[in-house]
Amino acid sequence: MTNQPIGVIDSGVGGLTVASELMRQLPKERLIYVGDTLRCPYGPRPKEEVIAYTWELVHFLLKRNIKMLVVACNTATAFTLEDLKSKLDIPVVGVIQPGARSAIKVTKNNKIGVIGTEGTIHSRAYPDALHHINSTIEVYDLACPDFVPMVESGVLSGSHAMQVVEGSLKPLKNHFEIDTLILGCTHYPLLRDAIQTVMGEHVTIISSGEETAREVSTILGYQKKLFQGNRKPRHEFYTTGKIEVFQNIARDWLQTDMNQVRRVELEEVVNYL
């Protein structure tokens, strides 16, 4: 059991921000990552479609005998996490609860902003998670639908990226005195520098990757499923879209050889277990 890989799913390349933190905190663990770049973004899609696509990703990984599933997509987490937990016999971790916990730890004025896809924002998953921990938190959320397509196309910096980020965040920056901002989409950390510049240094930016990886480590440790030997693991990366675009972004973000990225066609899942 300890030798089995950890499975990571995302709508595209954004989950690599979580994978990077998993690789840093758990350097002996092997990852199998699959990003559905062909059908990204998930944010504008109907809930039923997101659920169907998520289960296709999950079934792909279950065939590879994973010991744990990390849903590194906020929209998929919001729509499928509880169902996945109830139906799978392996631990399942999402990115919303860890992100909420991180934000509450650092806020000084209890005013927290959340940016995410339309699906994540409309689900109210972050306000619910934050208020479950602290009902006095003031939450100001904002959908930023232009961010994911920009990241998936490889535009992470420069004048165009700054223009898009500034225009998208204007309502949040101009009307609310937040001191903490949750990046409620795993694509958004790839735009972190631009977001920080626009929001100002007084706003603490929260990415859920670090806290999610910590939770994965804790769960695997408690269940005695951490790999015990010595090795430099060989990770596997799959994409449903163009390999070259995935490789370029992944190589820059993970600072590792990405020549082993493979394209995969997912099978439709009729019965969700």
| Residues of each annotated binding site for substrate | 10-11, 42-43, 74-75, 186-187
Q: Which of 32, 142, 169, 185 is catalytic?
A: 185
Q: Which of 58, 73, 96, 114 is catalytic?
A: 73
d(CA 41, CA 239): 14
Q: How big is the CA angle at 65 (ends 8 and 242), to the nearest 5 degrees?
A: 45
And the tokens for 228?
């015990």
Q: 144 catalytic, yes or no?
A: no
Are 73 and 13 in contact by the 8 Å Cβ rule? The answer is no
Q: 185 catalytic, yes or no?
A: yes
Tell me the three state secondary structure of residue 65.
coil
What type of residue is 191? L
- What phi, psi does 182 have (nearest 5°)? -85, 125
d(CA 20, CA 26): 10
User: What residues act catalytically?
Assistant: 73, 185
